[in-house]
Chains A and B, each alone.
Chain A
Amino acid sequence: MSHDDTRDEQLSRLYREAAGEEPSEAMDRAILAAARAEAAPVQPRKRAWWQTWAGPASVAATVVLTVTLTLMVQQEQEHAFIEAPPSKGEAADSAEKPASPPPAVKQEAAPAPKPLARETKAEPAAPAGALAPRAPMTEPAEPAADAVELRARSAPLRKEAVGAAPARTPEQWLEDIRRLKQQGKDKEAAEALADFRKAYPDFRLPDDLR
């Protein structure tokens, strides 16, 4: 220490004899604790079990909910097609208009035998709730053909809802075709069968009409 003339060793010695004040032990402890805490390695915070599983559980719940809702909506739509009765307007409309069978049958309407004419006439008079497709629906369906028949049955309903065409069940239509064949009108029967196939591509034809 070279303070030249600014240094007085006697003064320094005397000062050190008097200078004995020190901070308290409590102060020492507080500062050293703070220093240790600052130097301590940062521990990764341990997460509670529910925090660990919260993410995966919420994803799983979302997936289950989405799938459930999708299935429910699909089922609801199918039921709506099958069970929804036509509105009053549609029923009245079908009552006012003359029966208009599908084109293939229309061609046959003039020479058609009486039963067919009777059937087509009788249809509009039927009450809205007793629409033709209802009857087959109550029949026990063949287990293997459940889906096909369901679609086949719902098809005429959809047609009626849109175009107010007189309802004729596939079975009735096939019966008409069968009758044509019995009368020897093979060409007309073949054309009607082709129309039927167009209208109900998934319908399982009886063996005698294949």
Chain B
Amino acid sequence: MLDEMSDEALMLAYREGDAAAFEALYRRWRGRLYRYLLRQCGNAAQADELFQDIWLKIVGARRGYEVAAKFSTWLFRIAHNRLIDHYRTQGRAALVSLVSYDDDPADADRVAALPAAASSQPEAIIERKALAHELVRHIEALPAAQRETFLLSEEGELTLEEIAAATGVNRETAKSRLRYAVNKLRAALREHK
């Protein structure tokens, strides 16, 4: 029964004290949120810390929860803000990279410049699994804002409007970032094929 409920209905049930509803909701989103954070931080320990903070925020917001947006948009909005706080403590460069609207075409060079990790094993490159891992490496090499937009699209399954709402930008900016990210990844994968 819980599996058939929407995210928002589950969160409302949790607001009323149904802990099982929260568990169902958590199981739905735990992996997606974790990978979003892991790709953004590049560090499992930091991802763990952020992941826990974000879910505890959700838990803490239980009593005042109202359905004002899709649960996933709300969740990733919290995650985005928590990441900004994290970057602030890490240094200005990372923060500027995340909030920058600059989609410099030169960024594509950074992806193209990545060393071919499996170049010494040409047979393995053919294998799809290796290609997938290569894709992850390229994603991690994207500029933070483009990477975040791509991850929100893939992991969060958010629309452009929802990505814009979660990251605090307008739809066109979100669209531009996503287009850049996808084009760079396509190009990088073409080079490995």
Interface set of A (CB-CB < 8 Å, partner B) = 1-3, 5-8, 11-12, 14-19, 21-24, 27-28, 30-32, 34-36, 38-41
Contacts and interface: CB of A to CB of B under 8 A. Distances in A.
A18 B19 CA distance: 32
B38 A11 contact: no
A39 B18 contact: yes
A162 B80 CA distance: 94
Contacts of A7: 153, 182
B35 interface: yes
A14 B132 contact: yes
Given A14-B131, A15-B136, A30-B52, A39 B154 contact: no
B73 to A, nearest CB: 14
Given A6-B178, A12-B154, A17-B132, A35 B19 contact: yes
Contacts of B30: 22-23, 28
Contacts of B38: 21
Interface in B149-180: 153-155, 157, 159-160, 175, 178-179
Contacts of A32: 19, 22-23, 26
A36 B19 contact: yes
A19 B133 CA distance: 8
Interface of B: 14, 17-19, 22-23, 26, 30-31, 34-35, 38, 48, 51-52, 55-56, 59-60, 62, 128-129, 131-133, 135-136, 139, 153-155, 157, 159-160, 175, 178-179, 182, 185-186, 189
A206 B149 CA distance: 118
Contact of B153 (A3, A5, A34): A3
Given A22-B34, A32-B23, A39-B22, A27 B135 contact: no
B17 A39 contact: yes
